[in-house]
Amino acid sequence: MAGASSTVAKLYSFLYLRGFRVWVSYKTNALLNVLSWVLPVFTYFFVGTSLGEKVVSATGVANYTSFFVIGLAFQGYVSSAIGTISQRLRNEQLYGTLEYYVLSPTGAFGFLSYSALWGFTLNTLNALIILGVGSALGVTYSTQGVAAALVIILMLLVSTFGIAMLSGAFVLVTKQGNPVAFFFTTFTALISGTVFPVASLPLLVRYVSYAIPLTWALNGLRLSLLQGYSLSKVAPIIGILGVFDIITVPLGLLVYKLSYDYVRRKGTLSQY
């Protein structure tokens, strides 16, 4: 019981107090966040009226709006979760409070994990708003593929957490300049099939795209949410995402631990 109540208290602290309450207290920033989620939907919608049908003609998706709505809704899970963790670590270094988390019962790893939950929570809201706008623009979602979509999202979140650990490890060591966060928050939108099919990329870039979990997840989400594919039909994609999970999480934990031990030995944990 004590362990459960402690976990609930930490979730309340990180998700509500440090997450939601802080986010909504900056009303202008919160409004701009929502606008940044919604406006790209209309941007690509108007682009798609002239170019979209050519872009998705070979993907099996009904129209370009359906294609990019799924991409925009779920790409944010990757970019924001990774960005949230690295930014939280950076902020605590600047404030000089990171060492307090090291000494607290939560610990540095707990701080990282609970911070990731806020990123995932915020992007759930992001995804729901984008999917809602897509529905208003005529996108039809299949209820038959909801179970498959939920499994794919869960698998994507696990691999994203592993990548976020790698991102946090870089912040601990380099303080500024994070190539992991930069790549997964910038280039994944271009090469993972977010707003145009991977098949349209040059061959070498396509190979890089296939090495990113988001590419497979977006493919599976389009099949399940737009075409009603069941769990059995997307099983190959779930299997591939499972391989990513098995690789990224242990690798992220290992690199983060090595980086954490390194900066503690150097005495630079909270330096910025």
How many structural domains are present in the chain? Answer: 1
Determine the pLDDT at residue 133. Answer: 92
**Contacts (Cβ under 8 Å, ≥6 apart) of 93:** 171, 175, 270, 271, 272
Determine the pLDDT at residue 180. Answer: 78
Residue 172 within any structural domain of the chain: yes
Rounded to 10 degrees, the C-alpha dihedral 177/179/181/184 comes to: 150
Average pLDDT over residues 93-112: 63
Query: Considering the entire predicted model, what is its pTM?
Result: 0.81
Record the tokens describing residue 70, joined without a space: 């799924």
The CA distance from 49 to 68, in Å, is: 12
- Domain, as residue range, for 242: 2-265
pLDDT at 132 over 70: yes
Residue 270 within any structural domain of the chain: no
Residue 83 within any structural domain of the chain: yes
Residue 271 within any structural domain of the chain: no
Which runs of E-coded beta strand occur in the chain? none
Determine the pLDDT at residue 104. Answer: 62
Kindly state the percentage of the chain with pLDDT values over 90: 28
**Residues 200 and 56: beta-carbon distance below 8 Å:** no
pLDDT at 125 over 60: yes
**Residues 211 and 98: beta-carbon distance below 8 Å:** no
Residue 61 within any structural domain of the chain: yes
The CA distance from 117 to 179, in Å, is: 22
pLDDT at 201 over 90: no
Determine the pLDDT at residue 178. Answer: 73
Name the average pLDDT for the chain: 80
Closest CA to 241 of 181, 153, 120, 147: 153
pLDDT at 242 over 90: yes
Tens of pLDDT, residue by residue over 45-73, are: 776 666 666 666 656 676 888 888 999 88
Residue 72 within any structural domain of the chain: yes
Determine the pLDDT at residue 241. Answer: 97
pLDDT at 177 over 70: no
Determine the pLDDT at residue 197. Answer: 85
